[in-house]
Amino acid sequence: MLHGILIPLVVGIRIFANSFLNVFQKRLIAAVPNALEINFVMYLLLSLGMLPFAPAFPFGTLPPEFWFWAALVGIAGSCGNACMVKALERGELSVLGPVNAWKPVVAMIGGILLLSEIPSAGGTAGLGLIVWGSYLVLGADEGKFRFRILLRTDIRYRFAALFCTALEAVFLKKLILLSSTGQAFLANCWAGAVFCLLGTLLLPRGAVSPAVLLRPRGHAAMLILLALCFGAMQYATNTAFLLLPVGPALALFQLSAVVNLWLGWKLFHESGMRRKIAGTVLTVAGAVLIILFK
């Protein structure tokens, strides 16, 4: 009974936290053009906020393998979040949300190879619906899908983001299996901050500027809200991975496309909603099918 209540609660928190995370990312990238800088501050704020809880999650007894997977999670997560911010800078929230529906495809392949999670025929059919739905959404602006749409900068960034975050999901589940949700969460925050910082130092955009926290017009408050949304989203993700295999969990997360659709229309006045709604309905149907036949 508790398990049946916990899954919808955790997935609901994850869906709404992720959608509002995207909103804050889209607003911040207009003022702070360095995506890695935004993500570094996000990871840093979350890491500092979690320091008082660190003694409750001892790391001394964990195997060395844990840190290897933590590094992979940090690399994949920081790259994925940076690509997502750049995609939101150039693209529409109502398009980029449903495109994320391809993530279960990548994650399910990773789950098969690394976690021995074999999808059922119904789950595979659900993935087909998700892909079909994203096909409709991608063609919303021009009335039909054209392959050149895949060459758009925002779409390329979005596919790069979903590939990185799908790999991150598989690595994260491996990390959780070696430890606990709390330990995996802390390691994810620390590793993300380290690799975002390295990225800003190594790439020609220059080092992280502390002034990003002092910018006017509520940017500091928005960065704090960004960190809170990311923290809620990530911890809910960790918990969901304990309750569900990677593929079905990521499929359920695609329900955030509905929230992204509404937020894109309401906050950013995005158009082409009829076709986007049809594609989003197919995406949701695919997610439901995966859950029914997981």
* CA atoms within 13 A of residue 141's CA, in its CB half-sphere: 12
For position 17, what pLDDT does the model report?
92
Q: Give the integer Cα–Cα distance in Å for 195 and 207.
A: 13
Closest Cα to residue 251, out of 117, 148, 100?
100
Which pLDDT band, with edges at 50, 70 and 90, does 50 fall under? confident
Q: What's the pLDDT at 145?
A: 57
In angstroms, the CA 81 to CA 272 distance is 26
CB 291 within 8 A of CB 247: no
State the Cα–Cα distance between residues 268 and 23, nearest whole angstrom: 9
What is the predicted pLDDT for the residue at 33?
65
Q: Residue range 216-224: average pLDDT?
A: 73
Residue 98's pLDDT band (cuts 50, 70, 90): low
The CA distances from residue 81 to 22, 42, 75, 86, in Å, are 10, 10, 10, 9
Bigger pLDDT: 39 vs 114:
39
Nearest CA-CA partner of 230 in 183, 283, 192: 192
Q: Tell me: the pLDDT tens digits for 175-184?
A: 888 888 888 8
217: pLDDT strictly greater than 60: no
Ranges of H-type helices in the chain: 2-29, 35-50, 64-90, 93-99, 103-110, 121-138, 153-178, 181-202, 219-243, 246-253, 256-268, 273-292
pLDDT value for 150: 67
Task: State the pLDDT at residue 76.
Answer: 92
**Mean pLDDT computed over every residue of the chain:** 78
Indicate the SS3 state at residue 184.
Answer: helix
Q: For 118-139, what is the mean pLDDT?
A: 74
Identify which of 101, 79, 85 has the alpha carbon closest to the alpha carbon of residue 256: 101
Average pLDDT over residues 39-62: 85
Distance separating alpha carbons of residues 117 and 224, to the nearest angstrom: 37
For residues 261 and 108, the answer to whether their CB atoms sit within 8 Å is no
User: Residue 256 contacts by C-beta under 8 Å, 6 or more apart in sequence?
Assistant: 14, 15, 16, 18, 19, 97, 100
Quick one: pLDDT at residue 144? 60
Query: Domain-by-domain residue ranges, the chain?
Result: 2-292
Tens of pLDDT, residues 226-283:
999 999 998 898 888 888 777 677 777 777 877 877 787 777 777 777 777 887 788 7
Cα separations in angstroms, 269 against 148, 167, 217, 254: 24, 32, 22, 22
Query: Residue holding tokens 């606990």?
Result: 180
- 6 burial level (CB within 10 Å; 0-12, 13-18, 19+): middle
